[in-house]
Amino acid sequence: MTQDICPCRVREDDKREFAACCGPYLARAAAPPTAEALMRSRYSAFVKADIDYLEETLSEDQRATFDRESTENWAKSEWQGIDIQETEEGLEGDEAGTVTFTAHFIHKGKPLPHKEKSRFVREGDDRRWYFAGEISIKNAPVVLGKQPGRNDPCPCGSGKKFKKCCGAAA
């Protein structure tokens, strides 16, 4: 019997099973207790291509601009792991928090990083955590082919225009 290791593993040597880590969150059997747990479960949802979970865990404001097609395309990447650099607040007693992370993936045979500082908030009567957007980290864009135009969708998959996202760092 093969073990289904959770994609969000905390360390490279972490062999926690998906069923004992992010699995209950993606099965909607439990809610992540912290912003970081939600971040990890969202990463696992990308790996497992659970687009519904990604949409369900967006804050109300973010849901209004959710681009399902872009998210589906980005989820098709070959995900290699996630590193959490910093978590600010976002604990069980907090109402908001941020998580800075780097998700590693392969696109068209090239290993790439996606670094982001994500904002999380609690919403609703049940006070669950939701992804509320990102705080821009200015990195130069990675261009694999033709340079996107300023008004083209950003190739990072954020759903924003290139000039308002990765193109702002160029």
Domains annotated on the chain, with CATH: 18-137 (3.10.450.50), 139-170 (no CATH)
**pLDDT tens, 43-95?**
999 999 999 999 999 999 999 999 999 999 888 889 998 999 999 999 999 99
Residue 60, token pair as written in the block: 């109300």
In angstroms, the CA 28 to CA 58 distance is 14
Q: Are 104 and 81 in contact (CB under 8 A)?
A: yes
User: Other C-beta atoms within 10 Å of 135: how many?
Assistant: 10
Q: Does residue 22 register a pLDDT over 60?
A: yes
* pTM for the model: 0.77
